[in-house]
Amino acid sequence: MEVDVRKRPAHEAKDGKRNQARTARTATVTIQAARVELRGPQRPGGRPGSVQVNAILVREQDPPEGEEPLEWLLLTSLPIKTIKDVCRVIEYYCCRWEIEIFFRVLKSGCKVESKQFEDADRYLPCLALYMVLAWRIMYVMMLSRECPDMSCADVFSEAEWKSVYVVVRKEQPPAEPPRLQEMVSLIARLGGHLGRTNDGPPGPKAMWIGMQRMADLAQAWCAFGPPSTASRRRKKCV
């Protein structure tokens, strides 16, 4: 199986070990999968029972010179009966960084852990709503990197992009909606992203703060801003 490996700078891990720098590449790996039994550790109160899990071992056989080979040991409750099942687990693991960012937005941006309800029947609908919000923040952030030249009107409402444009640029919005990448940069500036040459693209924190402010600006635009094209058409028809 081929796995895309992202570039990684050298850094010190939490356990004190220093991870070597890694170049971006496509690694060819071998895969082994089996059902294994994990013995419980010895504890003062006695050894707990054994647990059976599905294990997948992913190894890179021929890494580039000077690079550490990939080696992942994945323990899962998902099925591994077919090669398709095993590849699905590996693909899930390859998306782990996006999943981590999603939960960071959900917990730190939407602050779902600070919500207090009397029972789960009230908490679950709230969690479902915030998951949609976290998804939209992630979607806009990643879409602007993959499709920077698409129109921002495909993602944002007229009130959203025009209100942000006026507040950040201090000028009237253009007749045609800006590119998505440009609009995301403006929203990120509301969230504290400076946009300097070496800053890189906006991250999740700048985006969730910026989009929260965008929501307030859009409401103010609808209440106090100039009438939209749709509302002008309605008035003309009347």
What mean pLDDT is predicted for residues 49-64? 93
Report pLDDT for 234: 44
Q: Which residues contact residue 91 at a Cβ distance below 8 angstroms, ignoring those fewer than 6 apart?
A: none
Closest CA relative to residue 25, chosen from 47, 53, 6, 43: 6
Q: Which fold has domain 95-229?
A: Transferase Inhibitor Protein From Tn5; Chain A, domain2 (1.10.740)
Domain(s) labelled CATH 1.10.740.10 in the chain stretch across: 95-229
User: Rounded to the nearest 10 degrees, how much is the dihedral formed by the CA atoms of 60, 89, 99, 51?
Assistant: -100
What mean pLDDT is predicted for residues 188-196? 91
Q: Which residues contact residue 78 at a Cβ distance below 8 angstroms, ignoring those fewer than 6 apart?
A: 54, 85, 88, 89, 92
Q: Say whether pLDDT at 232 is over 60.
A: no
Q: Say whether pLDDT at 169 is over 90.
A: yes
Q: Say whether pLDDT at 233 is over 70.
A: no
Rounded to whole angstroms, what are the CA distances from 172 to 8, 18, 146, 151, 181? Answer: 42, 51, 28, 18, 19
Q: Say whether pLDDT at 9 is over 90.
A: no
Q: What is the pLDDT of residues 104-114, one digit of tens each?
A: 999 888 888 88
Q: Say whether pLDDT at 237 is over 50.
A: no
Q: Say whether pLDDT at 236 is over 50.
A: no
Q: How far apart are CA 52 and CA 39, in angstroms?
A: 9
